[in-house]
Amino acid sequence: MAPMEYRRLGRTGIKVSVLSYGAWVSFGTQLGNKEVQDIMRSAQEAGVNFWDNAEVYASGQAETLMGQAFK
C-alpha cells in the first residue's frame, strides 16, 4: 500500500490527508458502534486524519458514533 499523501491546509501549517472519511451514508443508519470503531481505526492506520461529519447526518447519530470512536 502506498503511503498517504498530505496537503497543507492554507497557511495554517496543518497537513490533512488527501483522502477523508465521511460518515454521511453509513454511520447510524447502517453501521453500529463496533463497525464504526473498526472502520475509523483502519482509516487512521492508513493515514487518514481528515474526517467529514455534520449534525444532520443520520439525525445526529453519525456525530455521536464518530465521537464515541474518537473517545
- Full-model pTM: 0.84
Write out pLDDT tens, residues 42-64.
999 999 999 999 888 888 889 99
6 is catalytic: no
Q: Which one is catalytic: 57, 62, 63, 69?
A: 57
- Left, alpha or beta for 38 (phi > 0: left; psi -120 to 50: alpha)? alpha
Helix 61-70 vs helix 33-45: crossing angle, to nearest 10: 60
Say which DSSP state 20 is in: -
Residue 69 amino acid letter: A
Write out pLDDT tens, residues 6-32.
999 999 999 999 999 988 777 777 888
Q: Where in the chain are the domains? A: 19-70
With 0-12 CB in 10 A as exposed, 13-18 as middle and 19+ as buried, what is 58?
A: buried
